[in-house]
Structure 1
Amino acid sequence: MKQDFFKKFVQKAAQENEQKLNAEKRKNHFKDLGRRGGLKKKSDPQLTRIISFRMTESAYQIELKKAEKVKLKLSTFARMVYHGKVLKIDEFKTDEILLEYGNNFKRIKNLLRHREWNVFSNKKKIIVEIEEIIELIRQHLYSKMNEKNK
């Protein structure tokens, strides 16, 4: 009887220990995957070094406004300024605006093609000019892309 009790006790302890180990493995597995699971954590070198400097309150407020303007945190913005990458953000904004203008010109051109706009006598001339503008915008954006790729 004592041996049966002892065997059951040892088996139960072994099972509990195995469950704890499985739970720990599962926990570590999800820790490797990240908080929400799915993708693994980035293996890129993490930002570990700190550079700090002092600035006046007015300079700080100016830089904070600039960072908010490009929708970045101040530390990220300062890092980009340090590496000289801030100008690329501004270039993207001008490209974005040009794309938006191009889309609007296409919409205007499509509207002019409808029968309702037959009132205009110079409708064809307007459509040709809009097409030229769209082509110029497209050429400008593609030339910028080609320059970046070289």
Structure 2
Amino acid sequence: MEKDFLKEFIQQATQENEAIIAHEKRKKHFQELGRKGGLKTKENKKLDKVISIRMTNSEYKILIEKQKKYPLKLSTYIRNVLLEKELKINEFKTDEVLLQFGNHFKKITNLLRNREWNVFENKKEILVKIENLIELIQQYLYSKIQKNE
């Protein structure tokens, strides 16, 4: 009787210990793998080099006036101009406009699907054209995202 109890106790203890070890291995495995799925982590480009320049007050005022057109810090603006990235700043404005157009077109299609708008004879044609336009906007924006990656 005691031997059976002792054997069962030892088996139960070893099973619990194996479960704990397996859990720790699993935890370490996923820690090593890192996060599965999700967005790609952005590379943190550390800005560690400093360049100082001297300029006149008039040059500085001109630079400040040009920088105020964009929602950027002065150092970011200078870096973008120096690396010829200034043109990419205005791209996001066109993207925002396209996104707004896409949202408005979706609202229009939802309105046309209501029963009140059965007056139009070519309602289906309008819906098809709007859906094609929305699809073209999405394809353009996704292609831009893929080019940037």
The two structures have a TM-score, normalised by structure 1, of 0.58
When residues 120 and 106 of structure 1 are mapped into structure 2, their CA distance, relative to the original with a 3 A threshold, is same
Partner of 2:99: 99
Which structure 2 residues correspond to residues 1-150 of structure 1 after superposition, within 5 A?
45=46, 47=48, 49-54=50-55, 57=58, 60=60, 63-149=63-149
1:112-141 Cα shifts (integer Å, max 9, x gaps): 111111122221111111001001111111
Structure with the greater relative contact order (CA < 8 A, sep ≥ 6): 1 or 2? 2
Letter in 2 for 1:139: Q
Whole-angstrom CA distance in 1 between matches of 2:54 and 2:145:
36
Residue 108 of structure 1: CA displacement? 0.8
Letter in 2 for 1:117: W
Letter in 2 for 1:49: V
Whole-angstrom CA distance in 2 between matches of 1:135 and 1:61:
45
When residues 46 and 144 of structure 1 are mapped into structure 2, their CA distance, relative to the original with a 3 A threshold, is closer
Whole-angstrom CA distance in 2 between matches of 1:49 and 1:106:
48
Letter in 2 for 1:138: Q
Q: CA RMSD in A?
A: 2.6
1:11-33 Cα shifts (integer Å, max 9, x gaps): xxxxxxxxxxxxxxxxxxxxxxx
1:90-121 Cα shifts (integer Å, max 9, x gaps): 22222222111111111111111111111222
Residue 86 of structure 1: CA displacement? 2.1
Whole-angstrom CA distance in 2 between matches of 1:86 and 1:94:
15
What percent identity do the matched residue pairs reach? 52
Partner of 2:35: none
Whole-angstrom CA distance in 1 between matches of 2:70 and 2:49:
25
Letter in 1 for 2:50: R
Q: Work out the number of aligned pairs and report it.
A: 106
